[in-house]
């Protein structure tokens, strides 16, 4: 057979023999049989005959692809690496097929070994990729797979490869290649560099790589589109262009690179593009603004908010449509991610957006060719309305008038169906923002939406897709209205809305977009009907079926790597272009058998079907939450279906499954099923936190622990090993030992990207819930280690950047939240906690000072007299704050800390000196919850007849009445109104003259409130 492989003249037959040999080898080599094959491979791969070497390397690649596990022994590993390196070094022209075949074989072998620690000659690999990229971009693309997979290896270390070389290669290909697929792959590799744990060298000082990357990305984002009016952006489905890939790469950079490094590297370059006379460069600048907004949101909000808004306002009135569209898109992204800061710019932004909306609504000219421009405008407007919330109220009449006008316009050339869809979605955002204030518009809009869904006349007004999109938008917004206007207003429409959703699912078979909005509708209406959801059996069956389906997968068959080397190269320069599709590449090896995958390289998925599955998970979660006992009979079926999706390759599905499984536990009453579910979920969350590669999924799993502990209390960790699972997860996260956190190198001098900070914060949020769920003795036994890990992170977080500041503030706040749970064990922790809280109470960051002062207060409350020796120091700290800080959260917490000290150990506090200062510093202005301890302190002093307090009763009354008048709704909701009124009544009863004297100092509204309280005395 081996002789036939050499002698066979027919290239297709030679290729078939290679495949056959590889399969036989996979069965024989594990038993140390067929030594002739090894000798043959050594002979042909070291031959002087180039054709034999090509055939030999092709055969070796196939053998390694099918049975690479047979070559993992150290001596074979060394031999193969030497062969690969010698082969590449011996090829004078790396355009030769042998170089390409060698890189492919190297890739198969690295995949089999699953390690980055192979002694490959990586510079020669990079040279090969660059060499073949000109004439054979398809081969360069395949070779890049080796580099891309290398960057994802768990054992990749700084000494394995030089990521700067990889980045430079990727940038060269992205900038110079004329092949879209190769450009996309090169930019994907660049994104992998950014995500890899060796990434710090990517943005190291003075290497210029970050700046070079930004130059290339901006250049690509500024490429003129084929049609100025119809350019897609990186968040659009079906988007497929170099500018899209470049923006997506910049988005990844913003997520994974510390924002100070990123923004310093890009700001001057982006501004130059934004102010360029070239409209396409301005367009590229706005896409860059949009791309960095999510990942660097905290930093932008603190440093660049006004700059971003100013450029957005300039861009949306730009004379060039392509710039306008990009600026609208950037404004929409800002509205989504720069909250709440951007909401304060409503007076600047809304009038301009309203002008655009009115132009669309009042136009009498043909607009159907302007759809993309109008879509971008509506995206910006809808996103901004979402972020404004109730502050949008003054603009609602104008918004609704224009939206309804678009809905009612019958002229499809002026207002095509797509415009009506945009208007419907905007109405949904308006309703969400103003909630029950939408009531005046509700009935009319419901009629309009019902007409859109049921009308048969729409069929002649647009293509089927436009009609379906409009009807889906109408169904989605019906669900939005259910949540917005409240139970009483929507209940008359509830049952018919459910039937509407079921009818749509019955007529739109295998339509994931329709299924998605129907599932949203069911979840929304469930919040109205609750246990009266009579169609629950049918709905749950549909949801479980959607969750269980895997029809979103499409097999991607293996291409015949290297086949063209043997069948001829006559079509080398005429490679068939791929059709763009709404699919994404995925790894999928969990649920398919090896036999099924023989000819399968991987899988793609249909994004719309993926969205349907995510929505089904969300709907199960919410319906289970609100329908109470009516859902009990579906718990087991739902749980089983959802659990299986934890192995889904898409992180959005895995995250949704985590959320839903946790909810399916928390809705249960104590019993055998709950115990069974917790025995599955708690260890599974532990596994996910430890092994999942996605930070977002890990964050959701940590939130799952938090919710289980908060909602179920001790039952959440009552099972065998459950407390240990939570403890070990927290320890692993706080010490950055999870797989998701290994993408970054631990370095005390290195900043952390915002997403990395969020993982730590996720662990911190579990701790207060754990305190309440376990006895103080149990918590104290594990808290030493966890609190030590938190304080260790504080010591490592010494850089002056927003992420570090936010993390320090969060950690200090978390430590403070843990203090009450230490209870009778608090004395053990005073030596470590007191110096830490004291230090950070003088930090330059207001947020850190606020949390530290809160921590000192609760430490005093828990320690009682044990902290008395330290009171002089604490009083000095509080005096500094009371004398320095302006009204706000810091001052509120300083006052509350003083009150906690008075309550805990009044004998150690000089009341005559501190109480007048406290009274003169009132009122609480931001952290209103701290009013509770203020009132408790005042009541205690009053009941003890404290003379200092009695001397200042008039001031106290004025402050309390003012606070109650200004924040009455909050006081009522938080149960603060009654204790406030009780204190006032006590003073009125005991000291009527003091009460009368304050009337002249009150506003009319305050006086009316005061008199209404006084009337209760009689």
pLDDT category at 673 given cuts 50, 70, 90 is very high
- Do residues 800 and 849 both lie within one domain? no
62-71, 375-384, 484-493: least confidently modelled range? 62-71
State the Cα angle at 756 between 751 and 762, rounded to 5°.
Answer: 135
- Do residues 764 and 847 both lie within one domain? no
User: What contacts 891, CB < 8 A, 6 or more positions away?
Assistant: 881, 882, 885, 921, 925
Which residue bears the tokens 């506090």? 909
Span 878-930, pLDDT tens digits: 999 998 889 999 999 999 999 999 999 999 999 999 999 999 999 999 999 99
> Are the C-beta atoms of residues 627 and 526 closer than 8 Å to each other?
yes
Q: What pLDDT is recorded for position 6?
A: 65
User: What contacts 146, CB < 8 A, 6 or more positions away?
Assistant: 103, 104, 106, 107, 110, 125
Span 730-773, pLDDT tens digits: 999 998 899 988 754 444 445 566 788 889 999 999 998 998 88
Average of pLDDT values for 252-263?
Answer: 88
- Do residues 821 and 856 both lie within one domain? no
Which phi and psi angles does 275 have, rounded to 5°? -105, 10
What are the start-end ranges of the H helices in 885-930?
889-904, 911-921
Which residue bears the tokens 């799993």? 701
Q: SS3 breakdown of the chain: % helix, strand, coil, rounded to 5?
A: 75, 0, 20
What are the start-end ranges of the H helices in 713-801?
722-734, 754-773, 776-796
- Burial class (CB within 10 angstroms; exposed 0-12, middle 13-18, buried 19+) of 989: exposed
- Do residues 816 and 856 both lie within one domain? no
pTM for the predicted model, two decimal places:
0.80
- Do residues 699 and 688 both lie within one domain? yes
Q: What pLDDT is recorded for position 239?
A: 56
> Are the C-beta atoms of residues 300 and 293 closer than 8 Å to each other?
yes
pLDDT category at 603 given cuts 50, 70, 90 is low
Is 646 within the bounds of a domain?
no
- Do residues 751 and 855 both lie within one domain? no
| Per-position b or e across 273-301, b if 16+ CB within 10 A of its CB | bbeeeebbbbbbbbbbbbbbbbbbbbbbb
pLDDT category at 554 given cuts 50, 70, 90 is low
| Sheet containing strand 553-557, strands side by side | 553-557, 600-606, 583-586
- Do residues 760 and 903 both lie within one domain? no
pLDDT category at 985 given cuts 50, 70, 90 is very high
- Burial class (CB within 10 angstroms; exposed 0-12, middle 13-18, buried 19+) of 194: buried
Is 749 within the bounds of a domain?
yes
pLDDT at 579 over 60: no
Measured distance CA(134)–CA(64) in Å, rounded: 28
Measured distance CA(133)–CA(658) in Å, rounded: 43
pLDDT at 575 over 60: no
Q: What pLDDT is recorded for position 464?
A: 78
Q: What pLDDT is recorded for position 198?
A: 58
Three-state DSSP state, 606: strand
Is 801 within the bounds of a domain?
yes
- Do residues 832 and 850 both lie within one domain? no
Instruction: Give the end-to-end CA distance of the chain in Å, rounded to a whole number.
Output: 110
Q: What pLDDT is recorded for position 749?
A: 42
pLDDT category at 561 given cuts 50, 70, 90 is low
Average of pLDDT values for 317-321?
Answer: 92
**pLDDT above 70 covers what percent of the chain?**
88
| Per-position b or e across 756-773, b if 16+ CB within 10 A of its CB | bbbbbbbbbbbbbbbbeb
pLDDT category at 158 given cuts 50, 70, 90 is low
Measured distance CA(917)–CA(544) in Å, rounded: 62
Other residues' Cβ atoms within 10 Å of the Cβ of residue 550? 15
User: What contacts 36, CB < 8 A, 6 or more positions away?
Assistant: 2
Listed residues 277, 293, 322: the one ending a domain: 322
pLDDT at 781 over 80: no
Q: What pLDDT is recorded for position 202?
A: 67
Give the CATH number of the domain where residue 825 resides: 1.25.10
- Do residues 712 and 835 both lie within one domain? yes
Average pLDDT taken over every residue of the chain: 87
Three-state DSSP state, 774: coil
Is 661 within the bounds of a domain?
no
> Are the C-beta atoms of residues 529 and 494 closer than 8 Å to each other?
yes
Which residue bears the tokens 């092994």? 691
pLDDT at 414 over 50: yes
pLDDT at 555 over 90: no
pLDDT at 586 over 50: no
User: What contacts 542, CB < 8 A, 6 or more positions away?
Assistant: 505, 515, 519
More confident call, 309 vs 198: 309
Span 831-880, pLDDT tens digits: 999 999 999 999 989 999 999 999 999 999 999 999 999 999 999 999 99
Average of pLDDT values for 699-705?
Answer: 98
**pLDDT above 90 covers what percent of the chain?**
59
User: Domain range holding 4?
Assistant: 1-120
pLDDT at 569 over 70: no
More confident call, 407 vs 205: 407
Q: What pLDDT is recorded for position 593?
A: 38
pLDDT category at 462 given cuts 50, 70, 90 is low
Is 856 within the bounds of a domain?
yes
Q: What pLDDT is recorded for position 346?
A: 93
User: Nearest CA to 209 among 146, 257, 167?
Assistant: 167
Q: What pLDDT is recorded for position 458?
A: 60
Span 29-71, pLDDT tens digits: 777 777 777 888 888 888 888 888 998 898 899 889 888 888 8
Helix axes 259-274, 209-221, angle to 10 degrees: 40
> Are the C-beta atoms of residues 207 and 168 closer than 8 Å to each other?
no
Domain count, the chain: 4
State the Cα angle at 312 between 306 and 317, rounded to 5°.
Answer: 135
Measured distance CA(161)–CA(166) in Å, rounded: 8
Measured distance CA(581)–CA(588) in Å, rounded: 19
- Do residues 688 and 829 both lie within one domain? yes
Listed residues 297, 322, 347: the one ending a domain: 322
Is 780 within the bounds of a domain?
yes
Listed residues 92, 120, 148: the one ending a domain: 120
**CA dihedral sign, ordered 647, 652, 655, 656:** negative
- Do residues 750 and 855 both lie within one domain? no
More confident call, 900 vs 204: 900
Which phi and psi angles does 154 have, rounded to 5°? -65, -35
Measured distance CA(133)–CA(867) in Å, rounded: 71
Q: What pLDDT is recorded for position 336?
A: 94
Is 285 within the bounds of a domain?
yes
State the Cα angle at 297 between 291 and 302, rounded to 5°.
Answer: 130
348-352, 590-594, 642-646, 741-745: least confidently modelled range? 590-594
Which residue bears the tokens 């669309």? 360
pLDDT at 585 over 50: no
66-70, 133-137, 553-557, 820-824: least confidently modelled range? 553-557
Span 222-251, pLDDT tens digits: 988 877 666 667 555 555 688 888 999 999
pLDDT category at 272 given cuts 50, 70, 90 is very high
Measured distance CA(871)–CA(929) in Å, rounded: 24
Other residues' Cβ atoms within 10 Å of the Cβ of residue 510? 8
3-state helix/strand/coil string of 345-393: HHHHHHHHHHHHHHHHHHCCCCCHHHHHHHHHHHHHHHHHHHHHHHHHH
Is 824 within the bounds of a domain?
yes
Average of pLDDT values for 528-540?
Answer: 94
Average of pLDDT values for 1001-1012?
Answer: 91
- Do residues 829 and 706 both lie within one domain? yes
Q: What pLDDT is recorded for position 373?
A: 86
């Amino acid at each position: 057979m081996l002789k036939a492989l050499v002698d066979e003249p027919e290239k297709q037959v030679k290729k078939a023999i290679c495949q056959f040999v590889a399969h036989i080898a996979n069965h024989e080599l594990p038993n140390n049989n067929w030594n002739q094959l090894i000798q043959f491979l050594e002979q042909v791969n070291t031959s002087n005959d180039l054709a034999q070497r090509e055939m030999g390397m092709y055969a070796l690649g196939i053998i390694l692809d099918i049975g690479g596990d047979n070559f993992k022994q150290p001596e074979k590993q060394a031999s193969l690496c030497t062969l690969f390196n010698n082969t590449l070094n011996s090829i004078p022209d790396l355009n030769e097929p042998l170089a390409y075949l060698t890189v492919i074989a190297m890739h198969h072998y690295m995949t089999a070994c699953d390690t980055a620690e192979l002694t490959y000659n990586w510079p020669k690999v990079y040279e090969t990729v660059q060499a073949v990229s000109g004439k054979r971009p398809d081969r360069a693309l395949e070779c890049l797979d080796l580099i891309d997979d290398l960057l994802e290896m768990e054992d990749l270390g700084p000494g394995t490869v030089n990521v700067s070389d990889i980045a430079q290669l990727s940038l060269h290909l992205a900038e110079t290649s004329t092949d879209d697929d190769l450009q996309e792959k090169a930019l994907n590799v660049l994104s992998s560099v950014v995500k890899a744990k060796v990434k710090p060298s990517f943005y190291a000082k003075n290497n210029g790589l970050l700046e070079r990357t930004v130059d290339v990305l901006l250049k690509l984002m500024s490429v003129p589109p084929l049609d100025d009016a119809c350019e897609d952006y990186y968040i659009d489905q079906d988007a497929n262009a170099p500018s899209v890939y470049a923006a997506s790469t910049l988005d990844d950079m913003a997520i994974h690179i510390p924002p100070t490094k990123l923004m310093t590297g890009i700001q001057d370059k982006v501004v130059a593009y934004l102010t360029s006379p070239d409209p396409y460069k301005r367009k590229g600048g706005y896409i860059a603004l949009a791309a960095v907004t999510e990942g660097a949101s905290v930093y932008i909000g603190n440093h660049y908010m006004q700059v971003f808004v100013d450029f957005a306002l300039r861009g949306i009135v730009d004379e060039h449509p392509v710039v306008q569209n990009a600026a609208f898109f950037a404004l929409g992204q800002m509205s989504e991610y720069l909250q709440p800061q951007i909401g304060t710019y409503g007076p600047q932004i809304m009038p301009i957006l309203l002008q655009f909306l009115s132009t669309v609504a009042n136009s009498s000219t043909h607009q159907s060719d302007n759809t993309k421009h109008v879509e971008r405008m509506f995206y910006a407007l809808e996103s901004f309305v979402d972020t404004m919330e109730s502050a949008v109220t003054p603009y609602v009449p104008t918004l609704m008038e224009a939206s309804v006008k678009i809905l009612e316009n019958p002229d499809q050339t002026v207002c095509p169906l797509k415009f009506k869809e945009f208007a419907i979605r905007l109405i949904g955002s308006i309703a969400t923002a103003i909630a029950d204030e939408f009531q005046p518009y509700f009935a009319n809009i419901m009629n309009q939406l019902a007409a859109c869904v049921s009308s048969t006349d729409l069929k002649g007004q647009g293509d089927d897709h436009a009609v379906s999109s409009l009807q889906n938008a109408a169904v989605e917004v019906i669900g939005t209205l259910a949540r917005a206007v409240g139970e009483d207003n929507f209940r008359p429409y509830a049952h018919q809305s459910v039937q509407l959703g079921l009818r749509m699912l019955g007529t739109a078979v295998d339509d994931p977009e329709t299924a998605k909005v129907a599932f949203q509708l069911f979840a929304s209406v469930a919040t109205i009907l609750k246990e009266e959801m009579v169609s629950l059996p049918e709905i749950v069956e549909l949801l479980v079926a959607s969750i269980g389906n895997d029809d979103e997968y499409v097999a991607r068959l293996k291409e015949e790597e290297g086949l063209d080397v043997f069948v001829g190269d006559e079509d080398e320069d005429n490679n068939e272009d791929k059709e763009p599709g709404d699919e994404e590449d995925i790894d999928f090896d969990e649920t398919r058998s090896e036999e099924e995958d023989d000819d399968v390289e991987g899988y793609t998925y249909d994004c719309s079907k993926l969205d349907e599955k995510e929505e089904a998970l969300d709907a199960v979660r919410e319906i289970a939450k609100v329908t109470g006992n009516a859902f009990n009979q579906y718990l087991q079926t739902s749980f089983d279906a959802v659990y299986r999706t934890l192995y889904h390759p898409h992180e959005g599905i895995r995250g949704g499954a985590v959320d839903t499984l946790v909810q399916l536990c928390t809705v249960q009453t104590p019993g055998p099923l709950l115990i069974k579910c917790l025995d599955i979920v708690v260890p599974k969350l532990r596994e996910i936190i430890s092994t999942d590669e996605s930070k977002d999924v890990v964050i959701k799993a940590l939130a799952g622990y938090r919710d289980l502990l908060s909602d179920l209390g001790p039952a959440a960790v009552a099972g065998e090993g459950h407390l240990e699972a939570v403890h070990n997860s927290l320890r692993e996260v706080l010490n950055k030992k999870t797989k998701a956190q290994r993408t970054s190198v631990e370095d005390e001098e290195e900043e952390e990207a915002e997403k990395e900070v969020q993982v730590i914060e996720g662990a911190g949020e579990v701790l207060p819930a754990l305190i309440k769920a376990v006895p103080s003795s149990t918590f104290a036994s594990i808290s030493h280690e966890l609190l030590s890990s938190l304080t260790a992170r504080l010591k490592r977080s010494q850089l002056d950047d927003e992420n570090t500041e936010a993390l320090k503030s969060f950690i200090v706040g978390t430590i403070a939240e843990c203090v009450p749970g230490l209870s009778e064990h608090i004395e053990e922790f005073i030596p470590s906690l007191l110096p830490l809280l004291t230090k950070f109470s003088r930090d330059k960051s207001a947020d850190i000072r606020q949390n530290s002062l809160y921590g000192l207060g609760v430490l005093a409350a828990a320690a009682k007299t044990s902290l008395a020796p330290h009171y002089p120091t604490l009083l000095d700290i509080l005096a500094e704050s009371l004398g320095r800080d302006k009204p706000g959260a810091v001052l509120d917490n300083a006052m509350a800390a003083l009150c906690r000290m008075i309550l805990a150990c009044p004998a150690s506090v000089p009341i005559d000196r501190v109480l007048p200062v406290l009274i003169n510093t009132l009122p609480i202005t931001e952290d209103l919850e701290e009013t509770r301890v203020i009132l408790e302190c005042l009541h205690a002093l009053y009941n003890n007849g404290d003379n200092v307090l009695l001397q200042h009763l008039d001031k106290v009354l004025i402050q309390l009445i003012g606070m109650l008048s200004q924040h009455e709704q909050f006081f009522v909701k938080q149960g603060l109104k009654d204790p406030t009124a009780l204190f006032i009544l006590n003073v009125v009863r005991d000291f009527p003259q003091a009460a009368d004297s304050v009337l002249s100092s009150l506003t009319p509204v305050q006086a009316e409130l005061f008199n209404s309280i006084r009337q209760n005395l009689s």
